[in-house]
Amino acid sequence: MKKTLFVAALALSTAMTTSLFAQERGGVMTFARYDGSRLIDPIYADRNPDIWMVGSLFDTLLRTSADSQSVEPGLAESYSVSDDGLTVSLTLRDGLMFSDGSDLTGEDVVFSLDRARDPDLSPWAGLLGSINEVSADGQEVTLSLASPDPSILSMLATFNTAIVSKDAFDAAEGATDQERSAAIFAAGGPGVGSGPFYMSDFEQGASMSFTANPHYWRMGADGDPLPYLDGVEFEIIPDDATRILRLQAGEVDAAEFVPFSRVAELEADPDINMELFPSTRIIYAPINTRDTRADGSPNPLADVRVRQALNYAMNKDALIQLVLQGAGQPMSSPLMAAATQLSADLSPLYAYDMDRASSLIEEAGLPEGTEITFTTLAGSADDATVFAALQQMWAPLGIELVVQQVDNPTRGAMNRSGEFDIHTYGWVNDVNDPSQVVGWLGYNPTAQAVGTGWNDDEFNAIFEAANVEIDPETRAEQYRQLQEMYADAAPLLFMWETPFAVAVSNDITGYVQTPLGNNLFEEAQVTR
């Protein structure tokens, strides 16, 4: 299966630009965020506000294609995987530079990937567990794998394998890698990354500035290097209403995480372009499937028929109208968003069917008045609506749904200890490969199948086999099987997918949030 790809950088970057008009250069875009970054380092980024900014400052060897279904060349102009799947060879582009003009070499690649796969350093090291050794000879980089890894190319297009400058780390102060990373981040300035921007200013919790990297390799539609902007200014405005007001007052150019209840209003605003970017975000609810509850009492949800009945008795279309004002769609795969590679379209997944639900409940012999606790996030209007609606929808099944409100860390702890019946949860893929989300939702050894306690030996075995399967068709078939098994077992309430809602001023074009959540400013333009 020797596969070599050569794609010209120019053709690529023009293909990704949709604008037919002349390219506007210069200008600064201001962007209102819901939360600030703490440390933007490829290997230490562990919160979305950090992860989603890595790509602006650091570049990866490969890039995710616009449709998210494959990878394409990045810092590496070509790549190939050997027939046995044990060797990945990459060739770096000529003349690559970090943002301070210093050379980006194979040595930097080895340094970066060794850092990324060091379990003592990075929380993401497990995703690179197949790599045995990384070596470089001039522009040629070779990855030797201990076992075939079908997700390795996707991993090389993921934030945690972005390339950092070895020289910058060698020169930084600090005894440990963490300290050096923090020192580099605190100092700011060009040199540590080769992304379209470098960080020029940072005020913890308040603001952050990116300045265009003059040495960036990708070309714009006008034949000059990207980015088009001179820079991006970020402001942190945690309150939804304030963030939107600031955009409406013209004080910022974009506001992210617009609540869905405000989408219609902003769509009607002639000065604002309400973007709903397709995402890999799914909203679902883990169901405790253990035979007994944490307090030792018998668990009615251990019966698969009850879990299926709950899914049938959930009117997803009505809920999507209620909670998302229609800006979402029911999950079509039980294990992932439709935009994820290898997702199977099993829609309609548990289409609303009260008769079916009632007969399943009857079969299961669930006593009338069975009490089930629904744990919601305190202060979350969405959760409150979902609870109130489900209480109504499930009442005909003889289920008495009671609410328990907790805050986020408490919910996480309860999920781990199994002290819940049902609670809502969300997920966005970090990696452009289904293994991460399926490992989280279904594979018991990761985290007890998202805390549900569901444990199916056959499912686990297929998942493990798919993790080393390099024949794409066989792997796709394995994933189809996994999704069908999971849909039948119903360890979750399969709820919906939601887009990323970003309100953008009409002065701005070309800003994109990818399905993984990454904020892309490299092709954004400002016209004023």
Partner 1 sequence: MFRNVQVGGLRYILTRLLLMIPTLFLVMVIIFLLVRLLPGDPAIAMAGDRASDAELEAIRERLGLNEPMLVQFWLFLSNTLQGDLGRSILMRAPVTQTIFDRLPTTLLLTFLAMLLSLLIAGPLAFVAALRRGRIADTVIRSTFQVGLSTPVFYLGLLLLTFLAAGLHWFPVGGYGDTFVSNLYHLILPAMTVALYTSAIIMRNLRSAVIEVLDAEYVQFARAKGLADRLILGRHVLRNALISTVTLVGLSIGNLMSGTLVTETVFAVPGLGRLMLEAIFARDYPLIQGLTLTFAVLVSLVFLLTDLFQSWLDPRMRAT
Sign of the alpha-carbon torsion through 462, 464, 465, 470: positive
* Phi-psi domain of 70 (left: phi exceeds 0; alpha: psi -120 through 50; beta: other): beta
Q: Is 365 in the site for partner 1 (CB under 8 A)?
A: no
Q: Please report how many Cα atoms fall inside a 13 Å half-sphere around the Cα of residue 24, on the Cβ side.
A: 15
- Choice from 70, 384, 412, 485 touching partner 1 (CB under 8 A): 412
Q: How far apart are CA 247 and CA 29, in angstroms?
A: 12
Nearer to partner 1, 126 or 365 (CB): 126
Does 409 interact with partner 1 (rule: CB under 8 A)? yes
- The sign of the torsion formed by the CA atoms of 512, 518, 524, 528 equals positive
Q: Using CA atoms, how far apart are residues 439 and 433, in angstroms rounded to an integer?
A: 11
- Count the neighbouring beta carbons within 10 Å of the beta carbon of residue 257: 16
The size of the interface with partner 1 (CB under 8 A), counted in residues, is 39
**Cα separation, 306 vs 363, whole angstroms:** 9
Alpha carbon separation from 95 to 78, 91, 214, 315 (Å, rounded): 15, 12, 13, 57
Nearest distance in Å: CB 447, partner 1: 7
Nearest Cα to 349, choosing from 302, 301, 314? Answer: 314
Task: Mark the segment that binds partner 1 (CB under 8 A) among 100-108, 220-228, 318-326, 414-422.
Answer: 414-422
Q: Which of 183, 354, 447, 485 binds partner 1 (CB under 8 A)?
A: 447
Minimum distance, C-beta of residue 251 to partner 1, in the bound complex (Å)? 6
Query: Min. distance of Cβ 440 from partner 1 in angstroms?
Result: 6
Work out how close the CB of 405 gets to partner 1 at its nearest, in angstroms, rounded to a whole number: 12
Given the complex with partner 1, which of 40 and 401 has the nearer CB atom? 40
105 or 415, CB closer to partner 1? Answer: 415
Q: How far is the CB of 105 from partner 1 (least distance, A)?
A: 29
15 SS3 class: helix
In the bound state with partner 1, the residue whose beta carbon lies nearer, of 1 and 413, is 413
CB of 468 to partner 1, least distance (A): 20
| Residue 416 touches partner 1, criterion: CB under 8 A | yes
CB of 457 to partner 1, least distance (A): 20
Name the residue nearer to partner 1 (CB basis): 233 or 353: 233
Question: Considering only residues 384, 388, 406, 476, which one is a binding residue for partner 1 as defined by CB under 8 A?
Answer: 406
Determine if 425 is a binding residue for partner 1 (CB under 8 A). Answer: yes
Cα–Cα dist 69/265, whole Å: 33
Distance CA 478, CA 463 (A): 8
Minimum CB separation of residue 473 from partner 1 in Å reads 29
CB of 173 to partner 1, least distance (A): 15
What lies within 8 Å, CB to CB, of 508 at 6+ separation is 29, 253, 254, 273, 524, 525, 526
Report 251-270 residues binding partner 1 (CB under 8 A): 251
Amino acid identity at 437 = V
Query: Could you say which residues in the range 195-254 bind partner 1, by CB under 8 A?
Result: 203-206, 235-239, 241-243, 245-246, 248-249, 251
Shortest Å, Cβ 40 to partner 1: 12
For the bound state, the minimum distance from the C-beta of residue 191 to partner 1, rounded and expressed in Å, comes to: 21
Which residue, among 449, 521, 515, 519, has the nearest Cα to 486 in the 3D structure? 449
Q: Give the HSE-up count for residue 222: Cα atoms under 13 Å, Cβ half-sphere.
A: 12
Rounded Cα gap, residues 289 and 259, in angstroms: 32
Q: What is the DSSP string of 296-342?
A: S-B-GGGSHHHHHHHHHT--HHHHHHHHHTT--EE-SSSSS-TTSTT
Print the binding letters for residues 115-154 with partner 1: x by CB under 8 A, - otherwise.
--------x--x----------------------------
Closer to partner 1 by Cβ: residue 431 or 470: 431
Q: Which stretch binds partner 1 (CB under 8 A): 214-222, 324-332, 440-448, 513-521?
A: 440-448
Q: Are the beta carbons of 364 and 306 closer than 8 angstroms? A: yes
Which three-class secondary structure state does DSSP give residue 185? Answer: helix
279 CB-near residues (< 8 Å, 6+ apart)? 337, 339, 428, 497, 498, 499, 500, 513, 515, 517
Integer Cα distance of 128 and 159 in angstroms: 12
Nearest-5° angle of CA 498, CA 315, CA 390?
Answer: 95
Residue 306 CB, nearest approach to partner 1 (Å):
25
- Tell me the C-alpha distance between 430 and 212, whole Å: 25
408 contacts partner 1 (rule: CB under 8 A): yes
Between 135 and 176, name the residue whose CB sits nearer to partner 1.
Answer: 176
Q: Would you say 120 or 457 has its CB closer to partner 1? A: 120
The residues in 11-50 that bind partner 1, with binding defined as CB under 8 A, are: 38-39, 46-47
Would you give the binding string for partner 1 spanning residues 290-329, x where CB under 8 A is met?
Answer: ----------------------------------------
Residues that bind partner 1 (CB under 8 A): 38-39, 46-47, 123, 126, 178, 182, 203-206, 235-239, 241-243, 245-246, 248-249, 251, 406-410, 412-416, 425, 440, 446-447
